Chain A
Amino acid sequence: MIYKVISKPEFRAFVDALVRANTSYGPRQVDTDRHGDPIYQFMPVSSADDIAFDYTVTTSSAKHLLMPFRGELSRFNFSDSDWKQQVNYETQPIVLIGLRPCDISAINILDEVMLKGPYPSPYYLARRKNTFIIGMDHLPLPDCFCKSMNRHTVNHGFSLFCSDIGDRYYLSINSAKAFSCLKEFQLDDPTDEDNCRLIERRKLIKHSFETNIEVSGLPVFLDIEFDSPIWQKWGEKCLSCGSCAMVCPTCYCYSVEEQFDLDLKGSTRESHLYSCNLVDFAQVAGGHNFRPRSGDRLKYRYYHHYRGFAANDNQQICVGCNRCGRTCLANINPKDVINDLRLERESCLTCVSTSPDKA
């Protein structure tokens, strides 16, 4: 890692050059919500002017640029009674601009999931190898809880990371290509003052979190509370729409579907990002559904996010961006669900009242 500082206009010129030479995605305002606030998304950009450098947060994550909502896995070309299978991993390099530390952490988590285990995904690897990431820090929104998940800072997984230190950016350069591109611009070595300002900035971010969730010991807690009535209570609210999984940066469950071409001369096998909240997620042929109730499915999603699965060493995969909470029409969000779950147990008086020292 190399550390440099760059003035904001120079940085903008650098981004502009990069964006003009590559297929790039960055935060853009796409609409305004009912309160008149801007809605941002990671969209294709063709110059620095397209990029909303001071955006707050995007509604969806950048996950779909590494794991597309629909991604081709293989093709079959039919001839007489035979066929040929084609598998293609080639992808074009892309530049992602403006990812937040939690977004980059989320990509690091996806790396663990998709590239470890006995069968690493070549499709994901190809995309990941061809992704150039420029991260930028920001002050958390009132409902972000990345700090609780310890994902408010990140120190790997990007090509370049910029911290805002007033009139300049403090750059952490993590790739040779990023450095060679940056050399065309006016870079300075960080002064003592810059270093102090970086530390101040980090402190400020850390102390700006208004939402905190107690997640320590949560894995065991979730195991114990597997049959808690809380799940059905929240489940009754859930519309099983799957929006939470679509916007989440670490929800990666998918479904594989195959379709004939219209001329019936071939077919395509595609992966489609799916959501475990959708009713047929665990339904098998013959109609049996292993998670028939919306509460069972909601629980399963929380279980995956806050307990973790054996495949990624039982690590929590939520990064605390609260995208799911903002998107949910039924007002279901991690903070309320987890607090409710904890409260349910902690406010239970049955056993506490018999304990002698409480009497």
Chain B
Amino acid sequence: MPDMRFNIPGQSLNREPFIDKIPDFQKKCEVMITDRGYKCKITNIVPLTSQEKLFLLRIVDPMERVLFTFRPGQFLMLEVPGYGESPISISSSSSNQEFIELCIRKAGHVTSAMFEAKQGAMVSIRGPFGTSFPMEAMRGHNVLMVAGGLGIAPIRAPLFWIGNHRDWYKDVRMLYGAKEPSQLLFNYQFEEWRKVSNVNLMTIVEHPDDSWKGRSGMITALFDEFPIDPDNTFAIVCGPPVMFKFVCSHLDRLGIPMNRMFVSLERRMHCGMGKCCRCMVGSTFTCLDGPVFDYWSVMNLKEAI
């Protein structure tokens, strides 16, 4: 029989009973996202190409639905129970609290499991995590968005934001490039973006096929087709690293200040909370200090590109 005088009493930390008692909504969100996800139902699945699908998720709990707010550019950790978690950019409008849209490419274990999921399936999300595009700071300026390939997924959030606050911004232009015409995602929304959001959208493909009537070439070719006012323009660039390197150095030559160009970096992520260190670039966490960085910071990060 152990001598109870020398027994160290346990200290309990089960926050479970406390979560419901936290009065501050913001605090409650923070507690929830570190380890517990919001349960979501997949309400709709839109196949885009053979490799990409758009998923509409709805948070099941009405209270949690109100709690989950995010800013354009942030990402979440999508959990397919049993398979694991993946970082995915939020691809919907931040003012839409009813649905969260995720545009997902089938790339491996978790994303393939998501591809198999049927409408009505339950998944879980933690988040939102990371930095966002400074939409307020861009007010009163021209906005130039450049998306390459799947880079359209994170760029849809600022695009919807601009649609909702169109009078805040002057000239808004979006350049969108893909390898092949069939890989231009969301082409069914192009007209809406042009007409309703008043965004000057230009597309380009690297390898045109017979049906393609638009421009072909690298995305930087589009810069010759319109004037850029370097003193008055903010740029948002999303795409594969090679692409944003080319695009940003081009914009740099045109005179856009480096701290007015924003890119979204992609790294391997396992926690989203600045703990696991998988996402480090130099001495910076992509999940906390990013994924949205201004180009000046990216240039100063070691191993960034």
Q: Which residues of A contact B268 (CB under 8 A)?
A: 281-284, 290
- Flag if B283 contacts A307 (CB, 8 Å): yes
Q: Which residues of A contact B302 (CB under 8 A)?
A: 223, 226
- Flag if B122 contacts A83 (CB, 8 Å): yes
Q: How far is the CA of A226 from the CA of B281 in the complex (A)?
A: 13
- Flag if B81 contacts A122 (CB, 8 Å): no
- Flag if B10 contacts A130 (CB, 8 Å): yes
Q: Which residues of B contact A307 (CB under 8 A)?
A: 283
Judged by a CB distance under 8 angstroms, whether A311 is at the interface is yes
- Flag if A130 contacts B11 (CB, 8 Å): yes
Q: A86-134: which have CB < 8 Å to B?
A: 87-93, 95, 113-114, 117-123, 125-126, 129-130, 132
- Flag if A290 contacts B11 (CB, 8 Å): no
Q: Which residues of A contact B16 (CB under 8 A)?
A: 87
- Flag if B7 contacts A21 (CB, 8 Å): yes
- Flag if A254 contacts B276 (CB, 8 Å): yes
- Flag if A93 contacts B10 (CB, 8 Å): yes
Q: B194-252: which have CB < 8 Å to A?
A: none
A185 to chain B: closest CB distance in Å?
11
Contacts beyond the supplied A74-B35, A88-B14: 7 A-B pairs with Cβ under 8 Å: A85-B124, A121-B34, A126-B13, A223-B302, A255-B270, A271-B276, A309-B284
Q: List 6 A-B contacts (CB under 8 A).
A: A22-B7, A74-B35, A87-B16, A87-B36, A130-B10, A282-B278
- Candidates A87, A92, A130, A274; contact of B35 at CB < 8 Å: A87
Q: Which residues of A contact B34 (CB under 8 A)?
A: 119-122
Q: Which residues of B contact A304 (CB under 8 A)?
A: 277, 280
- Candidates B37, B81, B278, B281; contact of A255 at CB < 8 Å: B278
A21-B6, A81-B121, A256-B270 are contacts. A122–B35 as well, Cβ < 8 Å? yes
Q: B3-38: which have CB < 8 Å to A?
A: 3-16, 30, 33-37
User: Main SS of chain B's interface residues?
Assistant: loop
- Candidates A81, A83, A122, A283; contact of B13 at CB < 8 Å: A122
B263 to chain A: closest CB distance in Å?
15
Q: Which residues of B contact A18 (CB under 8 A)?
A: 6
Q: How far is the CA of A310 from the CA of B303 in the complex (A)?
A: 16
Interface pairs A-B: 9 shortest CB-CB: A285-B107, A119-B273, A21-B6, A21-B2, A267-B82, A253-B277, A76-B81, A258-B84, A126-B13
A95-B8, A118-B30, A267-B81 are contacts. A73–B277 as well, Cβ < 8 Å? no
- Flag if A290 contacts B303 (CB, 8 Å): yes
A22 to chain B: closest CB distance in Å?
5
How many B residues touch A, CB cutoff 8 Å? 55
Q: How far is the CA of A52 from the CA of B30 in the complex (A)?
A: 44
Judged by a CB distance under 8 angstroms, whether A20 is at the interface is yes
A81-B120, A276-B277, A282-B278 are contacts. A21–B84 as well, Cβ < 8 Å? no
B304 to chain A: closest CB distance in Å?
9
Q: Which residues of A contact B296 (CB under 8 A)?
A: none
A81-B121, A117-B274 are contacts. A129–B13 as well, Cβ < 8 Å? yes
Find the residue from A89, A113, A184 having the highest chain B CB count within 10 A.
A89
Judged by a CB distance under 8 angstroms, whether B168 is at the interface is no
- Flag if B82 contacts A76 (CB, 8 Å): yes
B273 to chain A: closest CB distance in Å?
4
Judged by a CB distance under 8 angstroms, whether A156 is at the interface is no
Q: B82-108: which have CB < 8 Å to A?
A: 82-85, 107-108
Judged by a CB distance under 8 angstroms, whether B191 is at the interface is no
Find the residue from A254, A300, A311 having the highest chain B CB count within 10 A.
A311
B61 to chain A: closest CB distance in Å?
12
A87-B16, A256-B84 are contacts. A177–B277 as well, Cβ < 8 Å? no
Judged by a CB distance under 8 angstroms, whether A291 is at the interface is yes
Judged by a CB distance under 8 angstroms, whether A78 is at the interface is yes
Q: How far is the CA of A226 from the CA of B81 in the complex (A)?
A: 40
A20-B2, A254-B270 are contacts. A92–B83 as well, Cβ < 8 Å? no
Q: Which residues of A contact B15 (CB under 8 A)?
A: 89, 122
Closest to B289 in A: A310
Q: Which residues of A contact B275 (CB under 8 A)?
A: 113-114, 117, 119, 121, 252, 254
Q: Which residues of A contact B10 (CB under 8 A)?
A: 90-93, 130
Judged by a CB distance under 8 angstroms, whether B135 is at the interface is no
Closest to A286 in B: B107
B37 to chain A: closest CB distance in Å?
7
Judged by a CB distance under 8 angstroms, whether A330 is at the interface is no
- Flag if A119 contacts B81 (CB, 8 Å): no
- Candidates A74, A119, A223, A226; contact of B36 at CB < 8 Å: A74
Judged by a CB distance under 8 angstroms, whether A221 is at the interface is no
Closest to B86 in A: A285
B174 to chain A: closest CB distance in Å?
25
Judged by a CB distance under 8 angstroms, whether A53 is at the interface is no
Contact with A along B266-302 (1 / 0, CB 8 A): 1110110111111011011100110000000000001
Closest to B3 in A: A21
Judged by a CB distance under 8 angstroms, whether B111 is at the interface is yes
A89-B15, A90-B14 are contacts. A311–B274 as well, Cβ < 8 Å? yes
Q: Which residues of A contact B3 (CB under 8 A)?
A: 17, 20-21
Q: How far is the CA of A74 from the CA of B10 in the complex (A)?
A: 21
Q: Which residues of A contact B273 (CB under 8 A)?
A: 117-119, 121
Closest to A82 in B: B122
- Candidates A184, A226, A253, A286; contact of B276 at CB < 8 Å: A253
- Flag if A181 contacts B12 (CB, 8 Å): no
Contact with B along A209-252 (1 / 0, CB 8 A): 00000000000000100100000000000000000000000001
Q: Which residues of B contact A76 (CB under 8 A)?
A: 81-82
